[in-house]
Amino acid sequence: MHDLGTVARAPSRGVPVAIRSSALLAWRLGGFDLSNEKNVSRSRIATPFVHRLGDEQEGFELLLDRTNRLVRARFWGVWDNEMVEEFRAGVLRFSGELSGSPWSMIVDSRNFPAQNEEITRHRLQTMKMVVAQGSFRKLAAVVTTATYGMQFRRMTDESHMQSGVFRDEQSALEWIRAGTR
DSSP string, 18-29: EES-HHHHHHHT
- Cα torsion for 114, 118, 119, 120, to the nearest 10°? 60
The predicted pLDDT at position 72 comes to 97
d(Cα 42, Cα 53) in Å, to the nearest integer?
A: 7
* pLDDT tens profile 116-158: 999 999 999 999 999 999 999 999 999 999 999 999 999 999 9
Compute the mean pLDDT over every residue in the chain, rounded to the nearest whole number: 81
How do residues 52-77 score in pLDDT, each as one tens digit?
999 999 999 999 999 999 999 999 99
> To 5 degrees, how large is the angle CA 117–CA 59–CA 52?
125
Minimum mean pLDDT range among 15-24, 115-124, 150-159, 167-176: 15-24
Query: What are the pLDDT digits (tens) for 71-96?
Result: 999 999 999 999 999 999 999 999 99
CA–CA separation, 174 vs 8, rounded Å? 28
- Domains in the chain: boundaries: 44-177
Share of the chain above pLDDT 70, in %: 76
CATH number of 44-177: 3.30.750.24
- Please state the φ and ψ torsions of residue 169, each to the nearest 5 degrees: -65, -40
Residues 6+ apart with CB under 8 A from 116: 78
pLDDT score, position 180? 61
- At residue 35 the predicted structure's pLDDT band, cuts being 50, 70 and 90, is very low
Entry pTM: 0.75
Q: How confident is the model at residue 44 (pLDDT cuts 50, 70, 90)?
A: confident
